[in-house]
A and B are shown apart, each in its own frame.
Chain A
Amino acid sequence: MAGGMTRVTLEGVLRPGQAPWRPSPDVTDVRVLLAYGHPRVGTFRIGLDLVLFATAYDDDDDDLSVWAYVPVPAELEASFLGRRFDTAADLSQAVDGFFVGRPATMALANNMSLARWSICDEVPAGDDGLTKAATGFMWSVLKAESFDHLQAAVKLAEARDLVNS
């Protein structure tokens, strides 16, 4: 575990409908490291704990976006707080690299409103580790959605049988 915060605590922090860069009313001290139109990379605090957030997938033409959150241990806060990077690529390398090998909370937002989230046990290694984590998360969302739809269909069928019987 990378941070002092437990996985359950961070997962329990997110609230549906919140903006991904302010995922709970309890969030404080939001600091944006990279923005374009809206914040894309930054930090916030939950109580005393620092959390790093970043877009794992965000396309201007897509309503859906995927966000990643990871606690930052107190001894590593200087890696991001008050830090300036020469280029966006340098920042991305540092941020994406920080996620690698750590458990992260992955969240799906629709029109910048948080909708679903779950834990990625360990963000895969490599420059595209966060992208891989986002892909895995989206597959799990699709499966869950399919299961929900299947359950709804079964309930509907059962209801019709009841009506018809």
Chain B
Amino acid sequence: MTASGEDGASDIEGDEIVTQQTFAAPTYRNAPRWEERRETNVSVFRGRVSTRVATEYIRRRGGRRELTEKEKSRIRVRRLSATKLREAGIAIIDEPGGVVYPEHCVVVWPADGPVNPLWPPEVQAAFDACSTGVEEGWQEE
């Protein structure tokens, strides 16, 4: 498997923004969870997606319990620069699956070659540094 071209997926081009959600602010995931969950990539959403929409996508199950106030206080999204990611040798692949919005993408490393889920510390740091510094917390409707 290589970073681009799988199943017709394309890299996100231009100076786009992608959104990353966390349930554990101020910490965000900076690498795939390969050993714990067999994940080969880090999921993000294309564009500026709200905290609520991103979280509802991730939680999926409609019948699940309501979030507690404490949980909501730790949910946040941050914006990442696609340009910075590409410059760091990290690729963003459009993989929307069966959902139109929010548009799901995966971040994989390296951009040129077989995907490696085991990101070295310097790659994790480079990914973290792609944040634009803009964050958004939970907002009630």
A24 interface residue (CB < 8 Å to B): no
B126 interface residue (CB < 8 Å to A): no
Neighbour of B39 across the interface among A38, A88, A92, A131, CB < 8 A: A38
| B43 x A35 contact (CB < 8 A) | yes
Q: Across the interface, which residues of A come within 8 angstroms of B62, CB to CB? A: 89, 92-93, 96, 127-128
Neighbour of A60 across the interface among B23, B63, B102, CB < 8 A: B23
Give bound CA distance, A48 to B24, whole Å. Answer: 43
A-B interface contact total, Cβ < 8 Å:
95
A32 interface residue (CB < 8 Å to B): yes
A84 interface residue (CB < 8 Å to B): yes
Interface centre among A83, A84, A88 (most CB of B within 10 A): A88
| A88 x B57 contact (CB < 8 A) | yes
Give bound CA distance, A108 to B43, whole Å. Answer: 24
Q: How many residues of A contact B (CB 8 A)?
A: 36
**Contact A36-B63, Cβ < 8 Å, known A19-B38, A91-B99:** no
| A 82-111 contacts with B by CB, 8 A | 83-89, 91-93, 96, 111
Neighbour of A36 across the interface among B35, B38, B58, CB < 8 A: B58
| A111 x B37 contact (CB < 8 A) | yes
| B63 x A86 contact (CB < 8 A) | no
A interface list, Cβ under 8 A from B:
19, 32-38, 40-42, 55-56, 60, 63, 80, 83-89, 91-93, 96, 111-113, 126-131
B interface list, Cβ under 8 A from A:
23, 32-33, 35-39, 41-43, 56-58, 60-64, 95-102, 104, 106
A-B contact pairs, 20 of them (CB 8 A): A32-B95, A34-B99, A35-B106, A37-B37, A37-B43, A41-B97, A42-B97, A55-B61, A60-B23, A80-B98, A83-B98, A84-B99, A87-B99, A88-B60, A91-B99, A92-B60, A111-B35, A112-B36, A128-B63, A131-B64
